[in-house]
């Protein structure tokens, strides 16, 4: 059991220090006061069907939050502490001991596309929306470069950029950590806590399904090759994973690979149906729902063993508003112990509904190289 923090009044300035756990064991528990009690509205959680309106803290931690009047412990930050704690508890209950990691923010010190300095805050589900060319893909690729340098290859090919890439990622494990990434002279350099290191020492898994339109020869591929191309994983492993996949909100109730056949067919059974259909027999909308759910299942599997981030880069753009809202609401539930970054093309979307579903909305405005990051877009 972690020790209780000392009883002392918190300073009103300086960076917020993460709570050692969601709440220490204490007899007295109370929630941060509501806005009607005269505190900052950022201390109150936004209402949602799966998000409680208040967060219970022990007397020590409640005092730490109250004394800062919301300036250091925003509702978004407290949500992240809770999500990190829930992920830890879920792993312990499953008998799995694995490293924790939760991305908090990305500080953009210098970069092409964006007006700098800038900051991208990340929640459990972050929706990034903006017009084409505003850097939606760039933001998640830079973040993913913390765990896998291959996502930065696109930015290595820019000869002598006016604004070379230099970012700092802050995450919790559960203590606050900072990792920096810099591209200079077409080389990738890392820093940890401000110190230069030869390699990136932290392991983070990014699950990034490809959109079918970005895959060459998609129309000529057989079903199993399609599945492998979208997820870059063996189709047999995906089929085995889906055998045990039975979430309450799932759309897929069965997935099979053709056996003893040269057709290499993949068949799925959808909720409400009693028979299997091949990937070529379902509509394009149903295909995207199937691919998104498989991606969720893959992220849920990896999150049991390593910090995981699911990236749906324009993959959900083919879903209607109700499908997008239900997907985001599902990704924000407790059974999903990973973070998700969703990019959505600029269109007429009910952002208030996504906000209430638990998503953190980030808008991108302007044109390169002076795009601005606008948090809290509704």
Residue 172 DSSP SS3: strand
Q: DSSP characters for 63-111?
A: HHHHHTTTSSS-HHHHHHHHHHHHHHHHHHHTT------EEEEEEEEE-
Q: How far apart are CA 363 and CA 351, in angstroms?
A: 11
Task: Please identify every stretch of the chain with a pLDDT value under 50, giving residue numbers as ranges.
Answer: 1-53, 97, 378
Q: What is the 3-state secondary structure (H, E, C) of 286-297?
A: HHHHHHHHHHHH
Q: What is the 3-state secondary structure (H, E, C) of 327-374?
A: HHHHHCCCCCCCEEEEEEECCCCCHHHHHHCCCEEEEEECCCCCEEEE
Q: Among 189, 132, 115, which residue's Cα sits nearest to residue 314?
A: 132
CATH superfamily assigned to domain 102-204+306-375:
P-loop containing nucleotide triphosphate hydrolases (3.40.50.300)
pLDDT score recorded for residue 320: 81
Mean per-residue pLDDT of the chain: 78
Query: What residue ranges of the chain are covered by domains with CATH 3.40.50.300?
Result: 102-204+306-375
The CA angle 140-187-214, to the nearest 5 degrees, is 40
Query: What residues have CB less than 8 Å from 240, skipping those under 6 apart?
Result: none
pLDDT score recorded for residue 27: 33
Q: Is the dihedral of CA 332, 128, 105, 297 positive or negative?
A: positive
Gyration radius of the chain over CA positions? 22
- By CB atoms closer than 10 A (0-12, 13-18, 19+), residue 49 is exposed
Q: Among 107, 98, 83, which residue's Cα sits nearest to residue 18?
A: 83
Q: What is the pLDDT of residues 188-214, one digit of tens each?
A: 999 999 999 988 777 889 999 999 989
pLDDT score recorded for residue 83: 66
Q: What is the pLDDT of residues 17-35, one digit of tens each?
A: 444 444 443 333 344 443 3
The structure tokens listed for 217 are 């020869």
pLDDT score recorded for residue 176: 84
pLDDT score recorded for residue 121: 92
Give the helix/strand (H/E) hosting 223: helix 223-231
β-pair partners for 108: 118, 167
Residue 196 DSSP SS3: strand
Other CB atoms within 10 A of residue 170 CB = 18
pLDDT score recorded for residue 163: 83
* Cβ atoms 338, 308 nearer than 8 A: yes
Q: Among 163, 162, 167, 132, which residue's Cα sits nearest to residue 152?
A: 167
pLDDT score recorded for residue 14: 44
Q: Among 162, 145, 163, 166, which residue's Cα sits nearest to residue 154?
A: 145
* Cβ atoms 81, 19 nearer than 8 A: yes
The structure tokens listed for 25 are 């064991």
Give the helix/strand (H/E) hosting 309: strand 308-313
């Amino acid at each position: 059991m972690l020790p209780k923090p000392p009883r002392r009044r918190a300073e009103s300035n300086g960076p917020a220090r993460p709570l050692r756990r969601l709440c220490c064991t204490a007899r007295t528990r109370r929630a941060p006061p509501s806005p009607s009690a005269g505190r900052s509205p950022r201390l109150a959680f936004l209402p949602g069907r799966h998000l409680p309106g208040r967060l219970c803290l022990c007397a020590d931690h409640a005092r730490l939050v109250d004394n800062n009047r919301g300036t250091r412990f925003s509702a978004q930050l407290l949500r992240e502490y809770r999500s990190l704690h829930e992920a830890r508890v879920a792993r312990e209950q499953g008998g799995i001991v694995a490293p924790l990691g939760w991305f908090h923010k990305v500080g953009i010190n210098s970069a092409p596309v964006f007006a700098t300095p800038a900051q991208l805050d990340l929640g459990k589900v972050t929706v990034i929306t903006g017009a084409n060319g505003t850097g939606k893909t760039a933001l998640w690729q830079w973040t993913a470069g913390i765990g896998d340098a291959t996502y930065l290859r696109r930015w290595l090919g820019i000869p002598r950029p006016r604004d070379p890439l230099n970012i700092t990622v802050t995450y919790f494990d559960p203590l606050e950590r900072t990792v920096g990434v810099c591209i200079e002279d077409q080389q990738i350099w890392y820093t940890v806590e401000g110190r230069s290191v030869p390699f990136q020492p932290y392991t983070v898994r990014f699950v990034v399904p490809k959109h079918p339109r970005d895959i060459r020869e998609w129309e000529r591929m057989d079903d199993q090759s399609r599945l492998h191309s979208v997820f870059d994983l063996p189709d047999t492993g995906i089929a085995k994973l889906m055998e045990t996949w039975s979430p309450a909100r799932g759309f897929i109730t069965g997935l099979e690979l053709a056996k003893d056949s040269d057709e290499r067919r993949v068949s799925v059974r959808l909720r409400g149906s009693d028979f299997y259909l091949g990937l070529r027999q379902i509509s394009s909308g149903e295909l995207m729902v199937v691919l998104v759910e498989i991606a969720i299942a893959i992220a849920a599997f990896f999150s049991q063993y390593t910090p995981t981030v699911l990236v749906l880069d324009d993959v959900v753009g083919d879903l209607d508003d109700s499908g997008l809202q239900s997907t985001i609401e599902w990704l924000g539930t407790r059974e999903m112990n990973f973070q998700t970054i969703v990019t959505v093309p600029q269109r007429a979307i009910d952002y208030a509904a996504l906000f209430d579903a638990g998503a953190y909305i980030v808008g991108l405005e302007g044109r390169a190289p002076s795009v601005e990051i606008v948090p809290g877009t509704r």
